[in-house]
């Protein structure tokens, strides 16, 4: 069993002022053995679980984390970026470096009055890890019929570990969106936030990055872009991140990061320099992390 509770220590509320579930991170139970593992509950999908730490120098955990799946949300509900509920997971044993995994969540009734239902969520992933090479590919569909196909991985060259990811996100039709319900996340204008692809739209997302170790100190750099089709509400963004990390022990480290995200075409129309549709967002963080 695995359960992850998130709350705001300043006011005791659930994460995001009670907008997200009590166990926002994960709530799963299951079995594990020579056959692999079988889980059920709420958690990160089969594709989203391995690609973060393998496609991004930060593991997508700081402000500088590259947006490796921009424009795709596993679930539009609050806290659903990469996570799905009422789901089942199966992961095979590691076979000569190859691991296959899948997750599925059946149709979910979103309006008992009209008995409409959304699409079935599915996610499949293949991950190969042997020696210095990690290579993965997978495909996923959410309940609004948005899909993502992604190839990602990294290579440890000794003096640096190199990361990459390339993904193509396609939006479901307007009718499929209507059947899945209305989601406010689609109208977000926050630069760098992973918002759903426009109905019938396409986003191409590319990420590169590297970690450079120097004893207990290491440097991180990353760059990602996601380019929409220009449909109304579709975003064209880029993000540049840089950071440092210092290991205090095997389980504790301190870190600091800088990130800048630039957005063009915020309104879905062609823009000129100086147009208010062009926005820029700068972020900074410093922290300490300990693994229990």
Q: Is the pLDDT of residue 59 over 50?
A: yes
State residue 73's pLDDT score.
Answer: 84
Residue spans per domain, the chain = 44-74+101-290
Would you place residue 138 in the very low, low, confident or very high pLDDT band (cuts 50, 70, 90)? very high
State residue 70's pLDDT score.
Answer: 75
DSSP letter at 51 equals H
Q: Tens digit of pLDDT for each residue in 63-121? A: 898 766 777 888 877 666 788 888 999 999 999 999 999 999 987 665 555 545 678 89
Summary mean pLDDT of the chain: 80
Q: Tens digit of pLDDT for each residue in 189-203? A: 333 444 578 788 888
Residue tagged 């449909």 (tokens): 231
- Percent of the chain clearing pLDDT 90 (strictly above): 41
Q: Is the pLDDT of residue 38 over 50?
A: yes
State residue 202's pLDDT score.
Answer: 86
State residue 150's pLDDT score.
Answer: 95
What's the longest Cα–Cα distance across the chain? Answer: 61
State residue 185's pLDDT score.
Answer: 41
pTM of the model: 0.82
Which residues have C-beta within 8 Å of that of residue 9, sequence separation ≥ 6?
Answer: none
Would you place residue 167 in the very low, low, confident or very high pLDDT band (cuts 50, 70, 90)? very high
**Residue 103 · residue 123 · CB < 8 Å:** yes
Q: Is the pLDDT of residue 124 over 60?
A: yes
Q: Which of 126, 33, 146, 34 is nearest to 80 (CA)?
A: 146
Would you place residue 179 in the very low, low, confident or very high pLDDT band (cuts 50, 70, 90)? low
Would you place residue 15 in the very low, low, confident or very high pLDDT band (cuts 50, 70, 90)? low
**How far apart are the C-alpha atoms of 139 and 116, rounded to whole Å?**
25
Q: Tens digit of pLDDT for each residue in 227-262? A: 876 554 456 778 899 999 999 999 999 999 999 988
């Amino acid at each position: 069993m695995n359960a992850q509770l998130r709350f705001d220590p300043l006011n005791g509320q659930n994460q995001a002022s009670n907008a997200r579930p009590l166990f926002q991170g994960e709530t799963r139970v299951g079995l594990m053995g020579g056959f692999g593992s079988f889980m059920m509950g709420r958690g990160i999908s089969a594709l989203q679980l391995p690609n973060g730490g393998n496609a991004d120098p930060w593991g997508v955990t700081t402000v500088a984390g590259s947006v490796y799946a921009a424009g795709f949300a596993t679930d539009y509900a609050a806290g659903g970026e990469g996570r799905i509920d009422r789901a089942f997971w199966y992961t095979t044993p590691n076979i000569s470096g190859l691991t296959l995994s899948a997750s599925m969540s059946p149709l979910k009734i979103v309006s008992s009055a009209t008995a409409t239902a959304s699409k079935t969520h599915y996610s499949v992933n293949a991950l190969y890890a042997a020696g210095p090479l990690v290579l993965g590919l997978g495909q996923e569909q959410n309940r609004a019929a948005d899909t993502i196909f992604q190839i990602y991985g990294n290579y440890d060259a000794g003096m640096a570990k190199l990361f990459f990811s390339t993904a193509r996100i396609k939006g479901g039709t307007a009718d499929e969106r209507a059947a899945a319900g209305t989601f406010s996340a689609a109208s977000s204008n926050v630069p760098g936030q992973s918002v759903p692809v426009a109905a019938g739209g396409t986003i191409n997302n590319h990420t590169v990055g590297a970690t450079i170790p120097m004893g207990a100190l290491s440097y991180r750099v990353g760059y990602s872009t996601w380019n929409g089709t220009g449909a109304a509400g579709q975003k064209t963004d880029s993000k540049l991140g840089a950071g440092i990390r210092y290991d205090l022990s095997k389980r504790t480290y301190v870190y600091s990061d800088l990130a800048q995200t630039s957005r063009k075409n915020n309104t879905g129309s062609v823009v000129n320099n100086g147009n208010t549709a062009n926005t820029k967002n700068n972020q900074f963080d410093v922290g300490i992390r300990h693994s229990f």
